[in-house]
């Protein structure tokens, strides 16, 4: 199983994000049903390990909180813009939850995440898009902002790579209380 831990987004937020899609030749836009905010990518695991992951995540205690999406930006790989994203206003509560997830997964023996946590929602893969089009898109949408949304749970997802896009399946939801 290929797993990751993420915050699911409400349908209304996904609809707002979908309005940003398009207008950049060569960009591969993420389908709105796949929008999420990754807390921790886990990767391929055996089924016994998936059960350990579930148990570890079920023991996390954190309070619900509000989260706001705002701004757009890009990530680069090897000097090329590889993805376009909507940013997330960093909050203490989001950092707390992400740290709890990371700690729980390390306790069961998973390797620590090497990348620094950079909360975002990926809109498009852009390795085949013209850099000037991407820069113009970011400049045109840098004031993008959505009203705060309530975060009341986090989710363990499985992921299967498909022909067009990956298929993400919510496996378990963990309530914040």
Residues involved in catalysis: 36, 120
Token readout for 111 is: 């390797």
Helical axes 92-107 vs 47-58, angle rounded to 10° = 140
Phi, psi of 175 (to 5 degrees): -75, 145
116 vs 140: CA distance, rounded Å: 27
Q: What is the phi-psi region of residue 110: left when phi exceeds 0, alpha when psi lies from -120 to 50, beta otherwise?
A: beta
**Nearest to residue 90, comparing CAs of 113, 70, 64?**
70
Contacts (Cβ under 8 Å, ≥6 apart) of 63: 93, 176, 177
Q: Integer distance in angstroms from the first to the last C-alpha of the chain?
A: 28
């Amino acid at each position: 199983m290929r797993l990751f831990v993420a915050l699911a987004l409400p349908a209304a937020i996904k609809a707002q994000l979908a309005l940003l899609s398009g207008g950049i030749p060569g960009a591969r836009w993420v389908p709105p049903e796949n929008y999420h905010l990754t807390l921790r990518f886990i990767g391929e695991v055996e089924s016994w390990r998936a059960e350990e992951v579930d148990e570890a995540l079920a023991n996390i205690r954190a309070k619900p909180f509000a989260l706001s999406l705002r701004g757009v930006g890009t990530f680069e790989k090897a000097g090329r813009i590889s993805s376009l994203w909507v940013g997330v206003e960093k909050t203490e509560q989001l950092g707390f939850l992400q740290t709890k997830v990371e700690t729980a997964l390390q306790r069961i023996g998973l390797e620590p995440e090497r990348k620094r946590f950079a909360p975002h929602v990926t809109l498009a893969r852009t390795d085949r898009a013209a850099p000037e089009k991407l820069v113009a898109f970011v400049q045109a949408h840098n004031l993008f902002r959505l009203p705060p949304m309530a975060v009341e749970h986090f989710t363990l997802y499985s992921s299967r790579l498909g022909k067009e896009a990956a298929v993400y399946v919510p496996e378990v939801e963990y309530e914040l209380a």
